[in-house]
Amino acid sequence: MVWSVALNDQAYDDLKAAVAFLAAKNPTAAERLGLGLVDSIFQLEHFPMRGAPVQARPGYRRILHHPWHLIFYRVDEATQRVEIVRIWDGRQNPLHLSFDPQ
């Protein structure tokens, strides 16, 4: 069974920012990162529960895209939909991580 996967606006901005930041230093690595993140995200079409629950945020799950990026998402079982809410570089200050729409 295939679930639908969608990035919200914040997650899309996170993805663009992560790739753009790296592209300034290494365009090849930036392309690899972008493609890898997208691949990790869309694997959730087949394995939506693979991520670990986020203890501080009930209803949210996370997966690690090695080595630094965390993909935060939530699953709606009734509609078989996965919403990607943030793509976060784990080296950043976690106090700046917000799940709230901006």
Fold of 4-91: YaeB-like fold (3.30.2310)
Give residue 102's pLDDT band: very low, low, confident or very high (50, 70, 90). very low
Half-sphere CA count of 41, side-chain side, radius 13 A: 28
At residue 32, the pLDDT reads: 97
Domains of the chain, by residue range, sit at 4-91
| pLDDT exceeds cutoff 70 at 101 | no
At residue 85, the pLDDT reads: 96
In the chain, alpha helices (H): 9-23, 27-42
Residue-wise pLDDT tens digits, 59-68: 999 999 988 8
Residue-wise pLDDT tens digits, 33-45: 999 999 999 999 9
User: What one-character DSSP code corresponds to residue 47?
Assistant: -
